[in-house]
Amino acid sequence: MPAIDVKQLSKSFKTQRKEAGLWGSVKGLIWRESFYKEAVKSVSFSLEEGELVGFLGPNGAGKTTLLKMLSGILYPTAGEVKVLGYTPWERNREYQRQFAIVMGQKNQLWWDLPPAESFLLNRDIYGVDPKAFERNIDEMVSLLDLKDLLDVPVRQLSLGQRMKCELVAALLHQPRVLFLDEPTIGLDVISQEKIRSFIQEYNRLKKTTVLLTSHYMQDVEQLCKRVLVINHGQIVYDGLLDDLSKRYVDHKVIKIRFVEAQSATPPPGLEGVVEWDAHHAVLKVKQKEVAATTHRLLGELPIEDLSVEKVEVEEVIRRIFEEKPGIEPG
Amino acid sequence: MQKYWTVFRVNWQNALQYRGPTFISILGNLLHISVLLYLWNAIYRSGQHLGSYSLSDLITYYILQLMINSMVLSYISWDIVDEIREGTFSNFLVKPLNYLYYWFTINLSGKLFEGLMVLIVGLVMSFILIAHVSLPSQGITLLRFALALVLGGLLAFEFDFAIGILAFWLVKVNSFKYMLQYGMFFLAGALLPLDLFPAQFQAVANALPFRFLVFFPIQIFLEKEPAPMAGFITAGLWVIVLYIILRFGLQRGIKRYEAAGH
Amino acid sequence: MKPPVTEAYATSLSGRWARYLRLYRSFLMHNLKNEMIYRANFAIAVGMDIVFMGVNVVFFAIVYGNVETIGGWTFHQTLILVGSVGVVRELAYLTFRQGFLQLGDYVRTGNFDVMLTAPMATFVHLAFRHVSLTESLGEGLMGLFLVGYGFAHLDAASWISVPLYLLMLFNSLVIYYAFSLTVNSMVFWLVKSQELNTVVYYFMNTARYPREIYHGLGKAFFTFIVPSSLIATTPASILAGRAEGNLVGLSIGVAVVLLCLGLSVWNWSLHYYSSASS
């Protein structure tokens, strides 16, 4: 049984339009035109227990809406979801004790009290056994380096420290499923790195199923083997991150540095030259011609250094999002 | 002038967005007024009475109170306190807007909007209770009433603004503010006509300017006010005096705010 | 699958009550710690409450300066009405009121999410999140004083009525809660709760007038739609020796029905929460 199973999930929001100007406002007094905006359109996917999967997509693509439906915060317009066998929006207590959601932009800690107090309250809410509670806290505090911060009022913590505490508060009950919505948003590079490695370590140790959204490509590149790419409310890619580049990008980049100055024009018949000067060259070569081209270059030229690089994932994603919705990429 | 006209229009638009909540708060006050009408009705039915008031006078008094509450009484101090406490007040320091005039404009547009809504409620209510409403006997009374409403609205705004900018000096002003407002409305005659108060108490309430908010306009409407002209002059003087105090107070408050370094 | 670390989950009714009692204690302690930080405010707040209650007493003192009785209630009996409202208000702050006052902010910022994901009933979580001992303490104390003062000045005061009085105070608290819950369910459409709570505020503000002033349609309205006529009158009648069995039965009935209604409306309206991302 998959840990998360989503079938044909859709969600539309009702919004209202208001005409500009004074007359529009007077009219709005009585009647406003409302229409539906589809945030999520018939999405299906599933996750096995213990998987760590990344959700990629631009702002407003529907990532957060999806996570909120999986958490039972929002009711769907149509479709079916089972997480650990439960339908989230029934908000079964047993389900709620087995998952957690952390949103980078929201705060559930008590603002004026030290984080330790919020942890205690969560212990009571989730009914965590006191011994297990102590053990969990110790473990996470050392993983996250929080020792000296537990008794400082939350309002005095930095954003990064606060986020770490949010994570601890959410993981106290050892959820089997964890949803992370932009956990590193607005954080400095060091805090981002710390939180990334914590998530990785936690997933490795506890086999917690993690579904993560992030603006930062690095988060996803470091943490997730598998990604779901969502755009305009639809999943446009579901598979390995590595395959994503293979599927969308059929070329690699060859960079070379010469031992000594060369003629500033490339040898005849060499294809895919992007840059070429006396000391450097950059070529963009089709996947299947990489071997042959490399061979030829090494044979013909005095090369000091040669590297074959794949196109950055960020670049790949950008390409996907530039495509129109609904068109099958390939 | 143009900029304040824009503020007026924008706030009107904003009020429109929240017309539901505004209507609900009018209904809340209507609830209170209805209960008071039942109270007076029960008293008069049992053969008792309050001072020189007939039941019709009392019913009219409270219908007018309902309208005055929406059209005259100001509640902007909540927002002013929030702005000063949360530091968003800083945005004003860099804008070419006078804070006093800015809020005056906001209040004016809000009161006009709410006034339009309450007018409908008040007319419906008067229609239902038509047999029990005391209407003025002369046309001039309505003119006087309108003037009294304008003066009351100006004073109500000035008092409320004063309560709001207390936040420059006091950290937690909300509960204090609540008491001031409640006391002020009581002394304005919002809960009970002032001439039902015991004599000494009445003398105090009459000396204070709060009566111009509610009691004075209603007395004019009921044609019970012995000296309307003197009232207008006194109220007008209060408006000017308070204006001078507020300008001065606002200046001092801003100095204090800047010194605190927000 | 690894064994859950959480304690065996109580499914029996008594177990669930015990769990919520523990949670209540936990939330109350946290809120007390929170209030300690702003303790300077505490004394002022108590003072304000007393002034506020004082104005209500002055109101009735002035009216009773002109009349003998209102709907058959003497001045001292009326003090029990005014006092009972104060006590119910303080009890409400001790159990749920502050949560509703914050609800608009929770919904507007999307922080309401937490209440939907934690393993607690959403309406209980909202209520417990801001329980406050001190917020309305002045009203509670002044209320107790007024009830005591009125009781001491009654011609026919009987101590036997006290337990039933307390029980009916609790019943009034249930009515107050159910009404708040029903009205506040609208927050998911309005996104502002300030005005909704103005209505609730007026509801309690009109509770201190004796029920006997109403007749006809008004009586039905203030009994079943906006049941403010039951809040103070039912318990106070018992203490004042004016009780009728009918009124007690009616109040309990209204409390039960309104609570069921409030809970269903609330649970239904949760569907319309749109969870803003701030």
Q: Using a CB-CB distance cutoff of 8 angstroms, which residues of chain B are in contact with residue A22?
A: 9, 12
Q: Tell me the residue type at C237.
A: S
A22 touches chain B (CB under 8 A): yes
Residue C260 included in any domain:
yes
Q: Using a CB-CB distance cutoff of 8 angstroms, which residues of chain A are in contact with residue C274?
A: 13, 74
Tell me, what's the pLDDT at C11? 62
Longest dimension (CA), chain A: 80
Q: Model confidence at C5, in pLDDT bands (50, 70, 90)?
A: very low
Residue C105 included in any domain:
yes
Is the model more confident about C209 or about A60?
Answer: C209
Q: Strands (DSSP E) along chain A, which ranges?
A: 4-17, 33-47, 52-56, 78-83, 99-103, 177-181, 209-213, 226-231, 234-240, 251-258, 273-276, 280-286, 303-309
C263-272 pLDDT, tens digit per residue, is 999 999 999 9
- Rounded to the nearest angstrom, the gap between the alpha carbon of residue B66 and the centroid of all alpha carbons in its chain is 11
Tell me, what's the pLDDT at C72? 92
Long-range CB contact pairs, B119-125, < 8 A, 24+: B119/B67, B121/B26, B121/B30, B121/B66, B122/B63, B122/B66, B122/B67, B125/B30, B125/B63, B125/B66
Is residue C132 pLDDT above 60, yes or no? yes
For residue C134, report the phi and psi dihedrals to the nearest 5 degrees.
-95, -20
Least Cα distance to A218 among A185, A256, A240, A263 occurs for: A185
- Give the chain C residue nearest A111 (alpha carbons): C34
Residues belonging to chain B with any Cβ–Cβ distance to chain C shorter than 8 Å? 18, 20-22, 24-25, 27-29, 31-32, 34-35, 38-39, 41-43, 46, 48-51, 172, 175-176, 178-179, 182-183, 186, 191-192, 196-198
Mean pLDDT of all residues in A255-279: 84
Using CB atoms, pick whichever of C26, C109, C114 lies closest to residue A124: C26
Is residue C118 pLDDT above 90, yes or no? yes
Residues belonging to chain C with any Cβ–Cβ distance to chain B shorter than 8 Å? 38, 40-41, 44-45, 48, 51-52, 55, 58-59, 62-63, 65-71, 189-190, 192, 194-196, 198-199, 201-203, 205-206, 209, 212-215, 218, 222, 226, 228
CB atoms inside a 10 Å sphere around CB B230: 10
Q: What is the b/e burial string over C142-173, where b = at least 16 CB atoms within 10 angstroms of the residue's CB?
A: bbeebbeebbeebeeeeeebeeebeebbebbb
Helices (H), chain C: 13-37, 40-66, 75-95, 97-109, 113-117, 122-129, 137-152, 161-184, 187-190, 194-205, 216-220, 228-231, 233-239, 245-269
- 8 Å CB contact of C9 and A121: no
C-alpha span between B113 and B70 (Å, rounded): 9
Tell me, what's the pLDDT at A208? 95
A29 touches chain B (CB under 8 A): yes
Of B140-144, C37-41, C99-103, C134-138, the poorest mean pLDDT is in C37-41
**Which portions of chain B are predicted below pLDDT 70?**
172, 261-262
- 8 Å CB contact of A25 and B16: yes
B27 touches chain A (CB under 8 A): no
The fraction of chain A above a pLDDT of 70, given in percent, is 92
Residue C277 included in any domain:
no
ipTM of the complex: 0.87
Which one of C60, C78, C183, C198 would you mutate to disrupt binding with B, by most B Cβ within 10 Å of its Cβ?
A: C198
Count of domains observed in chain C: 1
Is residue A328 pLDDT above 50, yes or no? no
Q: CA of C185 to nearest chain B CA: how many angstroms apart?
A: 13
C191-220 pLDDT, tens digit per residue, is 677 888 888 998 998 999 999 999 999 999
Least Cα distance to C106 among C94, C95, C118 occurs for: C118
Residue C232 included in any domain:
yes
Strand, helix or coil for residue A155:
helix
The model scores a pTM over 0.90 = no
Tell me, what's the pLDDT at B261? 61
Asked whether A6 and A81 are in contact (CB, 8 A), the reply is yes
C6 touches chain A (CB under 8 A): yes
Q: Note down the domain range covering C147.
A: 17-270
Q: CA of B6 to nearest chain A CA: how many angstroms apart?
A: 12
Q: Model confidence at C9, in pLDDT bands (50, 70, 90)?
A: low
Tell me, what's the pLDDT at A327? 42
A30 touches chain B (CB under 8 A): no
C59-84 pLDDT, tens digit per residue, is 999 999 999 999 999 999 999 999 99
Tell me, what's the pLDDT at A32? 64
Helix, strand, coil share (%) of chain B residues, nearest 5: 80, 0, 20
Tell me, what's the pLDDT at A329? 41
Of A273-282, B108-117, C54-63, the poorest mean pLDDT is in A273-282
Is the model more confident about C193 or about A137?
Answer: A137
Which one of B5, B16, B116, B120 would you mutate to disrupt binding with A, by most A Cβ within 10 Å of its Cβ?
A: B16
A63 touches chain C (CB under 8 A): no
Residue C60 included in any domain:
yes
Asked whether A133 and A123 are in contact (CB, 8 A), the reply is yes
- 8 Å CB contact of A25 and B13: yes
Q: Using a CB-CB distance cutoff of 8 angstroms, which residues of chain A are in contact with residue B6?
A: none
Q: Using a CB-CB distance cutoff of 8 angstroms, which residues of chain B are in contact with residue C102?
A: none
Q: Tell me the residue type at B108.
A: L
Q: CA of B9 to nearest chain A CA: how many angstroms apart?
A: 8
Residue C8 included in any domain:
no
Tell me, what's the pLDDT at B148? 96
Which one of A105, A125, A174 would you mutate to disrupt binding with C, by most C Cβ within 10 Å of its Cβ?
A: A125
A131 touches chain C (CB under 8 A): no
Q: Mean pLDDT highest for which of A292-301, B163-172, C139-148?
A: C139-148
- 8 Å CB contact of B19 and A22: no
A145-164 pLDDT, tens digit per residue, is 998 999 999 989 999 999 99
- Rounded to the nearest angstrom, the gap between the alpha carbon of residue A34 and the centroid of all alpha carbons in its chain is 32
Is residue A30 pLDDT above 70, yes or no? no
Asked whether C2 and A125 are in contact (CB, 8 A), the reply is no
Neighbours of chain B (3+ CB pairs under 8 A): A, C
Asked whether C165 and C235 are in contact (CB, 8 A), the reply is yes
Residue C164 included in any domain:
yes
Strands A99-103 and A177-181: parallel
- 8 Å CB contact of B12 and A25: yes
- 8 Å CB contact of A127 and C6: yes
CB pairs under 8 A between A and B: 8
- Rounded to the nearest angstrom, the gap between the alpha carbon of residue B206 and the centroid of all alpha carbons in its chain is 17
Q: Model confidence at A126, in pLDDT bands (50, 70, 90)?
A: very high
Q: Model confidence at C10, in pLDDT bands (50, 70, 90)?
A: low
- 8 Å CB contact of B13 and A29: no
Is the model more confident about A56 or about C88?
Answer: C88
Asked whether B142 and B222 are in contact (CB, 8 A), the reply is no
Residue C110 included in any domain:
yes
Tell me, what's the pLDDT at A315? 78
